[in-house]
Amino acid sequence: MPVLVMKFGGTSVATLDRIKRAAKRVGVEVSKGYDVIVIVSAMSGETNKLVGFVEETSPLFDAREYDAVVSSGENVTAGLMALTLQEMDVPARSWQGWQVPVKTTSAHSSARIEDIPPENITRKFGEGMRVAVVAGFQGISPEGRITTLGRGGSDTTAVAFAAAFGAERCDIYTDVDGVYTTDPRICDKARKLDRIAFEEMLELASLGAKVLQTRSVELAMRYKVKLRVLSSFEEQSDDAGTLVCDEEDIMESNVVAGVAYSRDEAKMTLVSVADRPGIAAAIFTPLSEAGVNVDMIVQNISEEGRTDMTFSCPTNQVPRAEKAMIDAKARGDINFHDIVADTAVAKVSVVGIGMRSHTGVAAKMFQVLAKEGINIKVITTSEIKISVLIDRKYMELAVQALHDAFELEKAS
C-alpha cells in the first residue's frame, strides 16, 4: 500500500481531546488505503517543563541524560495516540526512536539523522499494522544512547521518514493553516500561499518564519519530498494548506513570495581592527568555536591599515561572542580598540525565486524603507533574498510597508 507520513505538533496533541481529533484524521487516511506513519511531538509545554527539571537538577548537565529526560515527552504522546487509534479499531502501535531505529550522530541535543532502516516498520505493515506512531525528535547514537534532534526536530523526523519510506506525501499538521506571505499577526493583509518552492521556504524558515524547521525543508528539497503544511483545527479538503514543492511544480509566482523577520537579532562591531590577510579567519574562527551563529557580515573600508568589522548574531549569543573576542585579543590573535553591541535591531527580508529573473527588487525595497524613514544598518543578498538590519522599533512598520509595496495580498 502507498505510505503517507503525518506529523502532529505539540499544539495538535496538547490534550486527550486533541489527540482524538488527530487520530480521526489518521483514520480517514487509513480508510483511503494508506499505510500511515504518524510522527508526534510532545504535548504542548511538556518539553519546556522537562528542560526546566533538568536545568534545576543540574545546571552543568550531562547532555546524554538531558536527552534521556526531554525525549520522554514524545514517548507519552506516541503511546496515547496508538491507544486512541486502537480504540477506533485501527491496528496501530507506538515506536520509540531506538526501536525503529532512527540512527543519528552522537551530538546530544542537536543530533543529525544518518539512517532510518525501513525493515522493522515495513515488516509490521506486512503483518497487518496500518499505523506506526513514531516518537519524533529522537533517535539513537552509535553508542546506543538516546539522542534528540534540537528544537523543531519532529519536523525533520517526519521528512526523514517520508524519504526513507518513499512516502507519497508528508503532511505537517500545526496550529496554522499554511504558509503565509508574512506573519498574519503583524500584517492583516497576509495571504495564505497554495504552493511555495522549496528554496523559498528554506529561506523563509532560516530568516525567522516559524512554520517549518530549516533542516526539515533542507531534507525535503534534497529528497524531493512533497510537504504539505495544514491546520489540525480546521476541516480539510484535498487542496487545504500549503504545498512545499519543486519550483517546476509552480506555474506562476510573484517576484517576491514573502516577507520574513527575526526580532531577536544583535549587531556587533569590532572597532579598529588591523586590516591584514587572515583577519576575518582570526575573528570568525573563535566565534564559530564558541557556538556563535554569525549571519550578516560587513567590513568597512580600510583607513591607515585599520578597519571595522560588523556582524549580526542572535541576541542571546552576544555574551558568548564578546567573551570569544576578548579571549582572542588576550591571546594576541586579533587586536581591536573596542567591541560595540547593539541589541535593539531586527532583520527584515524579502524572498522570492522570481528575483532571479526580475531586476529592481532591491531598489524598490530600499525606496520603500527610505519613504518610511527607516535607516538600514546592514544589507546582505543572495540569489532569491534580500535582508536588512534595522532598528527593532521599526520592524512591524517595515514588514507592513514591504508587503504592501510588493502587493503580496494579490495572487500571481
Angle between helices 214-223 and 153-164 (to 10 degrees): 10
Q: How confident is the model at residue 238 (pLDDT cuts 50, 70, 90)?
A: low
pLDDT in tens, 168-206: 999 999 888 888 999 988 999 999 999 999 999 988 887
pLDDT in tens, 26-81: 999 999 999 999 999 999 999 999 999 999 999 889 999 999 999 999 999 999 99
Measure the CA dihedral 4/148/214/396, to 10°: 120
| Over residues 202-230, mean pLDDT | 86
Q: What is the predicted pLDDT for the residue at 315?
A: 93
Q: What is the predicted pLDDT for the residue at 63?
A: 93
CA–CA distance, 376 with 390 (Å, rounded to integer): 5
Contact partners, residue 107, CB within 8 Å, separation at least 6? 147
Cell representation of residue 290 = 564558541
Which residue reads 525503529 in cell numbers? Answer: 100
> Order of strands across the sheet with 297-299?
297-299, 306-314, 258-274, 338-351, 385-391, 378-382
8 A C-beta contact, residue 352 and residue 255: yes
| Over residues 348-362, mean pLDDT | 90
8 A C-beta contact, residue 323 and residue 273: no
| Over residues 273-299, mean pLDDT | 93
| Over residues 21-25, mean pLDDT | 96
CA–CA distance, 255 with 350 (Å, rounded to integer): 10
Q: What is the pTM of this model?
A: 0.81
Q: What is the predicted pLDDT for the residue at 121?
A: 98
The answer on pLDDT for 301 being more than 90 is: no
Q: How confident is the model at residue 332 (pLDDT cuts 50, 70, 90)?
A: very high
Q: Which residue has the higher pLDDT, 317 or 358?
A: 317
Measure the CA dihedral 330/331/334/339, to 10°: -30
For residue 195, the cross-strand partners are: 243
40 φ/ψ angles, rounded to the nearest 5 degrees: -120, 145
Contact partners, residue 18, CB within 8 Å, separation at least 6? 11, 12, 232
Q: How confident is the model at residue 247 (pLDDT cuts 50, 70, 90)?
A: confident
Q: What is the predicted pLDDT for the residue at 91?
A: 98
363, burial (CB in 10 Å: exposed 0-12, middle 13-18, buried 19+): exposed
DSSP, collapsed to helix, strand or coil, labels residue 113 as: strand
pLDDT in tens, 372-406: 999 999 999 988 999 999 999 999 999 999 999 99
Cell representation of residue 41 = 511531538
